[in-house]
Structure 1
Amino acid sequence: MKNYTIYIVVLCSGLLLAGCGKDFLNKNPQGALSEEQVLNSDGVEANLLGAYGILNGNVRGTWGNVGAAPSQWLFGEVPSDNAHKGSEPTDDPGMNLIELLTPNPASTHLTHMWQVYYEGVARCNRTLVLLRRDQEGENTISAARAVEIQAESRMLRAHYYFYLWRVFRNIPWIDENTAFDEAQTMPNNEDVYPRIVADAQFAVDNLPEAKINGEMGRMDRTTAKAYLGKLYLYQRNYGLALPLFKEVIGGKDITSMPFQNNFNVDTEDGPEVVMASKHAINPDGSGDNANVGDMLTGIHGTSPVGCCGFHQPSIDLVNAYKVDANGLPYFNNAYRVDPYLSDFGITDTAAKRRYVVSDTLRVDPRLDYTVGRRGVPYLDYGVMPGDGWIRAVSWGGPFIGMKSMINQSQFASNAVPGAPYITGLDVNIIRLADVILMAAECEVELGNLSGALAYVNAIRVRAATLPAKQVDAVDVANYLVAPYPSFPDVNYARNAVRMERRLELAMEGHRFYDLVRWGIAKETIESYSAFEGRYLPAYNGIIFNTWNNYYPIPQIEIDRSGRTLIQNDGYN
């Protein structure tokens, strides 16, 4: 919750099982509050806020939160055709294995993903337990507020479980009714997805329309509807998902909501926000409530940020923004013909120095609000100089990300002093454009191509309003994006929707999961590997196996469970 900080002590309950994962949580902390002290309105509300606190994926300070980042860049973008791990080959080699689709069950990032989001589950469960005991005892919370608290907790729990399910698929279900001994050895042989759906449905039925206390980070009915629709979409239950998406869209005009406002710390609370992880720099200048999961994605070298060079856009993604003479994207990988490489591969020093960006390159303007490329203005930092802002061009390529960065002029009040890669920029978990494109997908699969066309074109019309990037009052590219005149058939419409999701939501943590749920991950990633590997050999020859649809259960959690937890197929 932005603009204020709440310091509370939340006991690690027995429901946390091995997901607690930290020895200090098994000790009696000094100054911990007893259950009697928190068994009242203030205590329950404080526990609920503690449950919200896991949205930013952090329980351990500043460093080491990459795996649990709310943006899910490591698991949702890096293994896809959108992004590279970046940095250098020897810097966090465990990430290399994730990108190359050979993840290790001993990965600290997978372990952190598991432990953090089970911590979130535990905090939701603890809130529900305290709420129930309050209602059975002193009854300090009104009946109406009690239902809201239950709905908030269950919506948060649905989110945490969905993140776990999407990464690991086979996970144990622990709720407020699970006994301590049972939780420690709960197996992962149940399909928990129906329970996740039930939590989200309860939230839809019981959350208020307005944000509680006007706090933007709170769950509300609109958030729950969007989330429940997304859960149905993953089940390909388009008939149940679409009405929910339509209610969320509800006549809102996305063309009037500037695309770039979603990634600006001064305008992030705009009308496009559906669900966000709220971030802030603490009053003392520290950053544990900031976007610590994205801090490694800060741009490197001589840039104003200076660290850390991870999460670089792929060459393939950049070329996907090329458009034809009608302002429409290329399907079937046709954008790979005569690929744009910026200054990559120029070895002559003088030629490298003379390089000038081509202003004839015909691209969707969203490219230069998603990617930093040489010769193009980057936020308010000046013109991106190329290699000087990149750690290892031969490893991660010639491009850098932009959506997780803030303006240099915003450093003073929105970044940790001396560490401007740790910022107060929120992360959108669901935004309206995402909902509109999920609705378009449903319309395609239900046979309403005109409805899908209208949704996709609204996104493209908005994209066309992006200001052209210029140097000396001259556009640095031939910017062009236009609506589709029609969707002639289902296959064309499906390709258009899927391409639009890539262009609109690139680098926001959706791509790998989209490819998996569409059933096209193998063909897409292996084709990408052959293309990208021409220029960056480390990524040539990637094979997508059936088990790459999800990741291995952390080995440390299997061991802690007494081997009740069963490893996912393919990772034994």
Structure 2
Amino acid sequence: MKTTSFLLISLIGLFLVSCSEDFLEYEPEGVLSSENVATAENAESLVIAAYAGIANDDMIGPLTHQWVFGSVRSDDAYKGGGGRGDVGEVDRYEQYNLTIPDQGELMAPRTWTNYYKAISRANFALRVINEIPDGEFANKTLRQAELRFLRAHSHFMLKLIFKKIPYITEDLTQDEVAQVSNDVDNDALWNTIAEDFLFAYNNLPNSQEEVGRADRNAAAAYLAKLRLYQAYEQNDQHQVININTSRLEEVISYVDEVAGSLESDFGNNFLDGFDNGPESIWAAQFSINDGTTVGRVSFVTGLNSPHGTGLYGCCGFHLASQNMVNAFKTDASGLPLLDTFNDTDIFTNVDSNGETPPDGGLTVDPRLDHTVGVPGRPFKYRNTVNETGDMIYNFSWARDPGVYGYFGNMKEQQAPDCSCYVKEGPFVGTSKNVDFIRYADVLLWKAEALIQLDRLSEALPIINQIRARAAASTQRPLDAGAEDIYNIGEYTSFPDKDFAWKALKFERRLEFAMEGHRWYDLVRWGEAGQVLSAYLAEERTKRDFLANAEFTAGRDEYYPIPQREIDFTGGVYVQNPGY
């Protein structure tokens, strides 16, 4: 947490020691045990260590920003970097070529391990706190609620990625942990995760004095999100076989309890200085300048800064797809081209200055210039840095345009003269928070539930509220010299449910482009196979590296359970279908 970040550094040396192979029963060895830390003071420190655990990720074992699993794996972005062999495991994810359940130590296996380490921190702290008499720890129930929230968060993310996961609680012995199966009923697993969120919801205050701690507001939002996913009931082949209307009603009920508001400018969400603002409902907290070498900064997107400029570092990963860029086109009324956006490509002609003059008459949603680096347009609302560095995005900033094209990512970047910014070797880290849930997401969950319940007129103003904020978010890029090709309008009506459903899905894509949500949306809706097969059929005509990519429905919606975990449990874990 930003207000207590100085504690995190001291705790790293105290608690972040190596763990045994069985990280599901993780207890820091040789330093502390549940027998010698059962005091209120030590318990508070363990809770802070548990908060640190949910953000202890890195560029290839992500816990926060889902740029590989949620963005590159979808139709939003390409892997990027220096060709297909550069961090080649991510290429296998992009190609849907994960038929071998274990791909070394990178990506999914490492992410599995990192989440369960975070869960083990929460469970270790819970075991300690459970032993402290109520009279000796005034905050006992409060801290238990925070820890169960953190534990539920990690299990929730694991379920989105792997579907079949074991749910590990603090009351299990090491032998019992090894016997917890991952082969449980899908709906029952959702309810188990919900039990932890419900405990948090019932025992946390509406807000907390220390910024960054979980509160009832965040718990209500997470319950809305969980019930939304749970509403789309899936069979063993990951097909949506029913949409549970009672769950959708719960979504609406929980959303209505969430206090928040949209930032006045869309870009505030992605700039240093606006962390924990009104739109941030739940976020991973980071900090800098704490006396250590690089501070408590995030390197989860450290590979992704523009490559062909001395202003940044390395390595040109996570690049917007042509399909994603095309989605920002608008019609004469300022509305998205729901069915025809990909009929023609925009920003395809690079001139002698390395810029892409827009086609005559082209208009776009202004969120384009908050999301994508486009040659010839200002990058991160700047045209220069310290009056010497050119911040107009250029074709030369692309590391391998012959393979991946030349569109960049912008949301996860900060200007290189930002006080939040640090370079460790060639890699860029920042102290900018990573939002897990922002209020725009909460609003669109409600709109989605309303549309599925045939309450179209109630969903319309919610979607228009998101679009009105986008329309009011043009000043930064214009001040930096962007050519004004913006045209965004609001819907006057939804003529039928099919139209409203398309509008909702499109709005989610534009609002959260390249934030790592897209993949999980497609899987939740049961549309991943249809959408991604159509995407690949068209995109491979523009990007040769996708020539052999093929999505296999019934397998590729989820990632394989790491084979080493199946082996370690002696076959207690079962593999997902198709692997």
Normalising by structure 2, report the TM-score: 0.89
Counterpart of 1:141 in structure 2 is 137
Paired residues of 1:13 and 1:126 also in contact (CA < 8 A) = no
Paired residues of 1:378 and 1:384 also in contact (CA < 8 A) = yes
Query: Structure 1 residue aligned with 2:78, among 75, 84, 91?
Result: 84
Deviation larger for 441-450 or 537-546 = 537-546
Structure-2 change in CA distance of 1:121 and 1:12 (3 Å): farther
Structure-2 change in CA distance of 1:413 and 1:319 (3 Å): closer
SS, match of residue 22 in structure 2: helix
Paired residues of 1:275 and 1:430 also in contact (CA < 8 A) = yes
- What CA distance in whole angstroms lies between the structure 2 residues aligned with 1:302 and 1:172? 45
Counterpart of 1:208 in structure 2 is 205
Counterpart of 2:467 in structure 1 is 460
- What CA distance in whole angstroms lies between the structure 2 residues aligned with 1:501 and 1:297? 23
Query: Structure 2 residue aligned with 1:387, among 381, 387, 395?
Result: 395
Counterpart of 2:251 in structure 1 is 241
SS, match of residue 54 in structure 2: helix
Residue 73 of structure 1 and its aligned partner are, at CA, apart by 1.2
Counterpart of 1:554 in structure 2 is 562
The 5-angstrom pairing of residues 153-552 of structure 1 reads: 153-191=147-185, 192-211=189-208, 214-236=209-231, 237-248=247-258, 250=259, 253-254=261-262, 257-287=264-294, 289-332=296-339, 334-343=340-349, 351=352, 356-358=357-359, 360-379=361-380, 380=382, 381=384, 382-410=390-418, 412-416=419-423, 421-468=428-475, 475-540=482-547, 541-552=549-560
Structure-2 change in CA distance of 1:388 and 1:73 (3 Å): same
Task: State yes or no: 1:113 paired with 2:117.
Answer: no
Paired residues of 2:308 and 2:397 also in contact (CA < 8 A) = yes
Instruction: Tell me which amino acid in the other structure corresponds to 2:273.
Output: D
Structure-2 change in CA distance of 1:512 and 1:378 (3 Å): same
SS, match of residue 430 in structure 1: strand
Paired residues of 1:302 and 1:389 also in contact (CA < 8 A) = yes
Instruction: Tell me which amino acid in the other structure corresponds to 1:555.
Output: Q
Paired residues of 2:478 and 2:484 also in contact (CA < 8 A) = no
Instruction: Tell me which amino acid in the other structure corresponds to 1:128.
Output: L
Residue 308 of structure 1 and its aligned partner are, at CA, apart by 1.7
Counterpart of 1:10 in structure 2 is 15
Paired residues of 2:378 and 2:393 also in contact (CA < 8 A) = no
Residue 56 of structure 1 and its aligned partner are, at CA, apart by 1.5
- What CA distance in whole angstroms lies between the structure 2 residues aligned with 1:466 and 1:524? 29
Structure-2 change in CA distance of 1:469 and 1:174 (3 Å): closer
- What CA distance in whole angstroms lies between the structure 1 residues aligned with 2:278 and 2:354? 43
- What CA distance in whole angstroms lies between the structure 2 residues aligned with 1:26 and 1:231? 29
Residue 307 of structure 1 and its aligned partner are, at CA, apart by 1.1
Structure-2 change in CA distance of 1:184 and 1:315 (3 Å): same
Q: Give the share of equivalent positions with the same residue, in percent.
A: 35
Paired residues of 1:56 and 1:293 also in contact (CA < 8 A) = no
Paired residues of 1:70 and 1:277 also in contact (CA < 8 A) = yes
Task: State yes or no: 1:19 paired with 2:19.
Answer: no
- What CA distance in whole angstroms lies between the structure 2 residues aligned with 1:109 and 1:474? 39
5+ residue gaps, structure 1: 59-63
Residue 35 of structure 1 and its aligned partner are, at CA, apart by 3.4
Query: Structure 1 residue aligned with 2:96, among 92, 96, 101?
Result: 101
Structure-2 change in CA distance of 1:470 and 1:271 (3 Å): closer
Residue 473 of structure 1 and its aligned partner are, at CA, apart by 8.0
Residue 351 of structure 1 and its aligned partner are, at CA, apart by 4.6
- Length, aligned pairs only: 544
SS, match of residue 85 in structure 1: strand
Residue 241 of structure 1 and its aligned partner are, at CA, apart by 0.8
Structure-2 change in CA distance of 1:117 and 1:288 (3 Å): farther
Residue 491 of structure 1 and its aligned partner are, at CA, apart by 0.8
SS, match of residue 225 in structure 1: helix
SS, match of residue 276 in structure 1: strand
SS, match of residue 186 in structure 1: coil
- What CA distance in whole angstroms lies between the structure 2 residues aligned with 1:269 and 1:293? 19
- What CA distance in whole angstroms lies between the structure 2 residues aligned with 1:307 and 1:299? 7
Task: State yes or no: 1:129 paired with 2:127.
Answer: yes
Task: State yes or no: 1:54 paired with 2:49.
Answer: no
- What CA distance in whole angstroms lies between the structure 2 residues aligned with 1:519 and 1:298? 33
- What CA distance in whole angstroms lies between the structure 2 residues aligned with 1:372 and 1:42? 48
Instruction: Tell me which amino acid in the other structure corresponds to 1:106.
Output: D
- What CA distance in whole angstroms lies between the structure 1 residues aligned with 2:452 and 2:479? 47
Paired residues of 2:294 and 2:424 also in contact (CA < 8 A) = no
- What CA distance in whole angstroms lies between the structure 2 residues aligned with 1:132 and 1:292? 34
Instruction: Tell me which amino acid in the other structure corresponds to 1:371.
Output: V
- What CA distance in whole angstroms lies between the structure 2 residues aligned with 1:271 and 1:288? 26
- Greater helix fraction, Structure 1 or Structure 2: 1
Paired residues of 2:162 and 2:558 also in contact (CA < 8 A) = yes
Aligned-residue Cα RMSD (Å) equals 2.4
- What CA distance in whole angstroms lies between the structure 1 residues aligned with 2:163 and 2:439? 26
- What CA distance in whole angstroms lies between the structure 2 residues aligned with 1:285 and 1:316? 42
- What CA distance in whole angstroms lies between the structure 2 residues aligned with 1:74 and 1:475? 29
SS, match of residue 38 in structure 1: coil
- What CA distance in whole angstroms lies between the structure 2 residues aligned with 1:545 and 1:175? 33
CA deviations 1:384-440 (Å, max 9, x no partner) are 343321211122221110111112231x45424665711111111000001011110
Structure-2 change in CA distance of 1:165 and 1:351 (3 Å): same
- What CA distance in whole angstroms lies between the structure 2 residues aligned with 1:431 and 1:471? 25
CA deviations 1:521-548 (Å, max 9, x no partner) are 1111011111211110222452232111
5+ residue gaps, structure 2: 232-246, 385-389
SS, match of residue 151 in structure 2: helix
Paired residues of 2:354 and 2:375 also in contact (CA < 8 A) = no
Structure-2 change in CA distance of 1:57 and 1:360 (3 Å): farther
- What CA distance in whole angstroms lies between the structure 1 residues aligned with 2:520 and 2:480? 40
- What CA distance in whole angstroms lies between the structure 1 residues aligned with 2:399 and 2:485? 29
Normalising by structure 1, report the TM-score: 0.90
Counterpart of 1:61 in structure 2 is none
Instruction: Tell me which amino acid in the other structure corresponds to 1:563.
Output: G
Residue 131 of structure 1 and its aligned partner are, at CA, apart by 0.9
Instruction: Tell me which amino acid in the other structure corresponds to 1:39.
Output: A
Structure-2 change in CA distance of 1:287 and 1:472 (3 Å): closer
SS, match of residue 220 in structure 2: helix
